[in-house]
Each structure stands twice: as C-alpha cells, then as structure tokens.
Amino acid sequence: MAAHSRDVEGFAQIDSLREISSQFFEMVPVRKLKWKDEEAALLASSPELQRHLLLATVKNPVCQSCPPALSYMRYFMKLLIHKLESEDADICDEMYEAYTDILSRQEDEDETLCYKTYKMPSGESVSLQESVHLVSQGTTGLSTWQAAQHLAEWVIENPQVFSNRSVVELGSGLGLTGIVTCRLCQPQSFTFTDCHSQVLYLLSRNIERNLSQPTLSTDGEASSDRDRKNLKKIRRQLSLSSDHGGGGGAEIACGSDHSVVSRDRIVLRESCGSEDEICSDTVELDVNPSHWDMDATHRLASLNKDKRVNICHLDWECVKTKLLDKLKADIILAADVVYDTSIIPALVFVLKSLLDTGPDSNRKPKAFIASTIRNEDTRDEFLVAMGSEGLKYSVVESPKHCLFYYDRSVPIEILQVSAH
C-alpha cells in the first residue's frame, strides 16, 4: 500500500504528468500525443491518479480562462477513457462526469477561435488566442507555427542576447516568440510587427493578456462591445474560410498538423500607392485605446501598462523610410517569414534597412531568423538575395532542449544576419 501511494504521489509530480498536461494545452494532435504504455497502466491502477490527470488537463483552471478547442477536449477525453478501458481499469466517476460535461457543451460559433497555452521552464505560461484553421483569410498568421516555437526555445536559452537591448520582430503572428522574450529576457524595448489586420487584432489582445494582464474574459466573451464585434467578425470570416477548405477544429483534434501545410501563398493585401521607396501603406493600426497609446501616424502604438512594449502595422511591400527609422533596434527577430519567393526582395529590403546603421555608427545590430526548411529552393533564394545586398549570415546552434511540442521532422534553421 505504501509503495502504491508513492507511485500516486510520484506520477502527480514527475515529468510524465507535466508532459501530458503541456501537450494537452498546446493542443498537440490527439493521434500524436506522446503517451507511454506504462503511464496508462499506472493510471489504470488508481482512480486517484486519474483525478490528478483530470486536474492537470480538462479540469484545470486554465480551461476556464483560456480553453482549448472544445472538439479537442472531446477527442482527448475519448482517447483517455479508451486507454483506461483497454487496461481494464476501475475508472473513477469524475472521469465519466468530465467527459459527459464536455460532450454536453455547445460549440461556440463553429469554434473558429480557441486558446493554446505554452508552458515555460520557470513555471509561467503564455496563453494565445488562435484560429483552429491553419490557413485562413489569406494568411497563416492566425496560428503559431513550428519556427516560432523553435525560436522561442532558443530565446529562453539565450536571454543575455536580449537583456537591455531594443528588439523588433518581423511577422510576429500571434506573439509567442515576442511575449516569451518580454517575459523572460528583460529587453529595453520590444516592438511586435505584422501586416494583416486580423492578425494584429488578435496579437494585440494576446499581448494585453500576457504582458499587462487586464481583465479579459474567456473565449466567446470579450471585455467591450468593440472586442465582441471584432471577434464575431473574425469568427464569421474564419467559418467561411473553413467552408472553403480552411480546416476546422475537429481536423486539428484528430491529428492534422502544420507539417503538411505549405506557407507558400499569396497574402491578401490592401492597395498601395508609390510615394515612397516601395509604396505608401494606407492601413491604420486598430488597437484598443484603453490599453494602447497610438502615435500620430496610426501605425505604431505603445502598451499603456508597459511603454517598452509596442505594436506596429508593417507591410514589407508597403513601407515608408520614416517608419523603418523608428523601428531600428539592436536585435531583429523573425520566425517563418521565408515562405514565398515573391516577397523575398521586400523582406531583404526591410532587413537591410533595419541592419544598416551607416559608416559612422558604432552600433552593430543583428537579426535572428528562424525558418522551417520546407523548400530548399526558397531558402536558397533568400540566402542569395541577402548576399547580393551585402548582408552576412551564419547558422546558429539550435536550442539544446525541446520545450514545446511541435513537429520536428522538417528541419528548422536559425540564421544570424548582420550588415557588417
């Protein structure tokens, strides 16, 4: 009996329980969950262990404030009960009650938005509101991709690179890498940038949730009429995208993952003029004025509760020199931005502009760019374009520890880029 109690206590505290919990909150496809046979057998041996697992997953308070997709929770519970039944387990009543409760819930507006929560070594976590569709509304930026998770792991292992430095991130997406950097590395300042209006809206909310911690409601509810209107619009458009092949929550839950989707696509962009080096961007940044202080250009805003944190509407193909001058920083970050050969010239132009400090400056900014190498021709074209503009690059050693649960079958490379 004493030995069994030690097993119960051990399972509740050791890495195996944390691993299952972390995979659940990152919404790792159910069919790809890493779950050892001995863990299922140990669960089957004790209803108390089963209760510990429920508290670490579907009955965790995070599921109230930042819930994963409802369809995902259903598939997870179905898998869990199936594993226990295959072990002839004495399944606790709470297990069936939790499953029945999840089955009885109604999906909210086609369940187009959910939360993924990423746990860090410090015990802290980052919860991001994301689309359950991998590609939607002409952009892949509404989901967190592998290279962003890979770069975030590298950031966690190299905080000294960012300490007391100004940082700007290109193509921030939903903000994982940047939020991790702000939370763990104490940068002097950090500017998130992206070009798609819906990405920027969700990005701003994710920054508010994780960096200023205002009172935000659960998914499906928002803190203002403006938020409710914007989220309803995004959900409606994502639902239309799903009807035309965007992919839904059930597909994610059943095992669809980012590795099978190419990011090579045409981004839907607003029309551009030609008054500057590339063109004039006509889109203004739309953020909540209760949380952000907008500058006169309506392209750049700072977080009220932490003026070191900024957000910027930046389209590489529609950019002004004045805006790039404002964005110059010690460190440039980017993840999964090398995906389409048609935008490589604009990306390299922006990189060169941000890295070039002029002959009289002692500053030597660096860029760290993480890319999933899905297409070597695309990657090689990017390297050639950088070389032709005088940018120097080298491959950075990958992070030593696998913290997040993403597909690692396709190689991910981090480049250090400089102008000197």
pLDDT computed for residue 268 by the predictor: 33
Which residue type, as a one-letter code, is found at position 178? Answer: G
pLDDT computed for residue 240 by the predictor: 53
pTM: 0.84
Please give the mean pLDDT across all residues of the chain.
82
| Residue 157, burial from CB neighbour count under 10 angstroms (0-12, 13-18, 19+) | middle
CATH 3.40.50.150 given to domain 115-216+258-418: yes
Closest CA to 334 of 350, 357, 318, 319: 350
Q: Which two tokens stand for residue 171?
A: 């193509």
The full set of domain ranges for the chain reads 2-106, 115-216+258-418
Q: What is the pLDDT of residues 345-359, one digit of tens each?
A: 999 999 999 999 877
pLDDT computed for residue 216 by the predictor: 45
Positions of the chain with pLDDT lower than 70, given as ranges: 1-15, 107-111, 133-142, 213-224, 232-283, 360
State how far the Cα of 277 lies from the Cα of 105, in Å rounded to an integer. Answer: 53
Which residue type, as a one-letter code, is found at position 32? Answer: K
State how far the Cα of 23 lies from the Cα of 86, in Å rounded to an integer. Answer: 22
Alpha helix ranges (H) inside 208-289: 225-241, 249-254
State how far the Cα of 133 lies from the Cα of 169, in Å rounded to an integer. Answer: 23
